[in-house]
Structure 1
Amino acid sequence: MNLIKKLFALALAAAAMFFSGATLAADAEAPDALVKRISMEVLDIAKADKEVQSGNQKRVLQVVEEKILPFVDFQKMTMLAAGKNWREATPEQKQQLIAEFRTLLVYTYSGAISQVRDQKVEFKPMRSEPSDTDVEVRSQVVQPRGEPIQLNYRLEKTNGGWRIYDVNVLGAWLVESYKSTFTSEISKNGIDGLIKALSDKNKKLADATAAKGKAKSADAS
């Protein structure tokens, strides 16, 4: 399960890195051409940035915050993951869920970016019409060893351009994988219970990230 989550994170990272400073391009470019360009860019950055490769958590988090998050539709992702329970949440609970889910994926993205090495991405022809506002871009990650990994993206065209809201790795969609967890937690402890569970998880991840940073500093000295 941890491997699948890392692959999901790598997929979203690859599909979002290039958007930074490129809103006009996002508006004008076809979604498949855009994702292809994004993927090539993120792989080049991850391979060239020594701080990212060394696992410098501060640098990796900075990259995620600045380059990725503005161009992923976390509200739609959270809404889909919450399913029918989303309608029962208050506006405040919805904002808390979005914030905690966003933070959780930040840490997941960070762990995936620093693991990029020799992967390559190949794209398949996209099946859509020019008028479509919700599309799927299909690709696969080719590794030096092992079979290619299926990697598909769902994007929606918004007023701000195309935005990623789901990723499929090896036949499983990211949102669906979290939906069962969300539903189970809500059924036991309610929406506030889910918010607390996500918050607790994020605190543990933050502590682990801080510990890794201290370890890196100690090794460097």
Structure 2
Amino acid sequence: MPLLACRRLAFRLAAGAAVALVAVPALAAEPAADLVSATAAQAIDIIKTTTGAQRQAAIQQVLQTRFDLPYMAQTALGTHWAKATSEQQARFVKATETAEAKAYAERFGQYGGQTLAIGKTTSRPNGVWVVDSRLNQTNGQPIKLEWEVRQLPAGLRITDVKIEGVSMVMTRRSDFNSYIQQNGGKVQPLIDELESRASR
């Protein structure tokens, strides 16, 4: 049974933008833009120097250190987060992290030759910085990407990526909610499915 088809499409595009690109430096040295550029540069090195399980582990480290995974997981789970036990919440965060790292590792080879051009950074009243960028493809029209970045005690972290205006986190929320509703309104079947995907 296919899981989260829309999410897969968004992740394929986002994976290409986030981790298989040559990043063009931002016009101004702004910390949020620097984070996006550094994330792309780190991912490029991973693609060039690793394969298989080593690549997956390296990608997972990028997710852990460059993204606010707990925040993204909680937002994606929506109202179901409060209904989950603390154990389920922890398992959900870990399962999404591992499943995404595995998916990214398997898809990286599809993105050679693209470039990510960093644009302006906008500060919002809610404490979010939005870094505009453009994914230039070797074939086809450029894709607009917006990176949301927040300040945490540990430093700046990416909290969402919008692809042509469509939020990855909100896409996940829609797909996760649909999966939960199809499985008796319970979070556990979703966690089990994500863990199963991560272990394959």
Say what the alpha-carbon RMSD is for the aligned residues.
2.6
| 1:94-135 deviations in Å (ceiling 9; x for gaps) | 111111111111112213433331111112212227x87321
Q: CA deviation at 1:177?
A: 1.2
| Distance in 2 between residues matched to 1:195 and 1:61, nearest whole Å | 20
Partner of 2:180, secondary structure, is: helix
Structure 2 unaligned spans of 5+: 1-5, 22-28
- CA contact under 8 A between 1:72 and 1:164: conserved in structure 2? yes
Structure 1 residue 76 corresponds to structure 2 residue 71: yes
Q: CA deviation at 1:174?
A: 0.8
| Distance in 2 between residues matched to 1:156 and 1:127, nearest whole Å | 12
- CA contact under 8 A between 1:120 and 1:142: conserved in structure 2? yes
TM-score normalised over the length of structure 2: 0.80
More helix by share: 1
Partner of 1:111: 106
Partner of 2:15: 9
User: Aligned pair in 2 of structure 1 residues 178, 38: CA closer, same or farther (>3 Å)?
Assistant: closer
| Distance in 1 between residues matched to 2:20 and 2:158, nearest whole Å | 11
Partner of 2:130, secondary structure, is: strand
Q: Which amino acid aligns with 2:97?
A: R
Partner of 1:147, secondary structure, is: coil
More strand by share: 2
Partner of 2:149: 155
Partner of 2:92: 97
Q: Which has the larger radius of gyration?
A: 1
Partner of 1:118, secondary structure, is: coil
| Distance in 2 between residues matched to 1:44 and 1:88, nearest whole Å | 39
Count of matched residue pairs: 185
1:197 to 170, 193, 198: 193
- CA contact under 8 A between 2:115 and 2:136: conserved in structure 1? yes
| Distance in 2 between residues matched to 1:180 and 1:69, nearest whole Å | 23
Structure 1 residue 134 corresponds to structure 2 residue 135: no
Higher relative contact order (CA 8 A, sep 6+): 2
- CA contact under 8 A between 2:60 and 2:97: conserved in structure 1? no
Structure 1 unaligned spans of 5+: 16-27, 207-221
User: Aligned pair in 2 of structure 1 residues 43, 76: CA closer, same or farther (>3 Å)?
Assistant: closer
| Distance in 1 between residues matched to 2:85 and 2:151, nearest whole Å | 27
User: Aligned pair in 2 of structure 1 residues 93, 46: CA closer, same or farther (>3 Å)?
Assistant: closer
What percent identity do the matched residue pairs reach?
Answer: 24
